[in-house]
Amino acid sequence: RKEVEQDPGPFNVPEGATVAFNCTYSNSASQSFFWYRQDCRKEPKLLMSVYSSGNEDGRFTAQLNRASQYISLLIRDSKLSDSATYLCVVNMGSSNTGKLIFGQGTTLQVKP
């Protein structure tokens, strides 16, 4: 079983749609969770951290369910510029080094 699993997609949605991505992780001791965005042939960039209480940043909402070891990302009112690969990322290392485990990524294509 992969340590971090995501549906690779692609998700093809029209502009303005709401889309949700899911992610599961295997290590119940994981403490920190993130969503990164990666554009084609570019480096990953932090989109948002994911907190137990859930958090929102504009059109983006992240949720964490520790009991189910499940993380989600909701994008409302999709824009063409949201087209990218979204990486679910979990920290599994010691607090000193912050080792990250990346999911394969979910590809989103927003169409006019």
Partner 1 sequence: DAMVIQNPRYQVTQFGKPVTLSCSQTLNHNVMYWYQQKSSQAPKLLFHYYDKDFNNEADTPDNFQSRRPNTSFCFLDIRSPGLGDAAMYLCATSRAGAYIQYFGAGTRLSVL
Tell whether residue 24 is a contact of partner 1 (CB under 8 A). Answer: no
Tell whether residue 28 is a contact of partner 1 (CB under 8 A). Answer: no
Of 46, 51, 57, 79, the residue at the interface with partner 1 (CB under 8 A) is 46
Of 37, 64, 83, 105, the residue at the interface with partner 1 (CB under 8 A) is 105
> Could you tell me which residues are beta bridge partners of residue 26?
none
CB burial readout 56-77, b (16+ within 10 A) else e = eeeebbbbbeeeebebbbebee
Of 14, 43, 58, 112, the residue at the interface with partner 1 (CB under 8 A) is 43
Residue 80 phi/psi, 5-degree rounding, is -55, -35
Of 27, 42, 57, 65, the residue at the interface with partner 1 (CB under 8 A) is 42
Tell whether residue 91 is a contact of partner 1 (CB under 8 A). Answer: yes
Closest CA to 59 of 44, 47, 76: 76
Residue 82 phi/psi, 5-degree rounding, is -80, -10
**Based on CB atoms, which residue is closest to partner 1, 61 or 85?**
85
Q: What angle do CA 14, 37, 3 make, to 5 degrees?
A: 110
Where does this chain bind partner 1 (CB under 8 A)? Answer: 4, 8, 32, 34, 41-46, 49, 87, 91, 95-100, 102-105
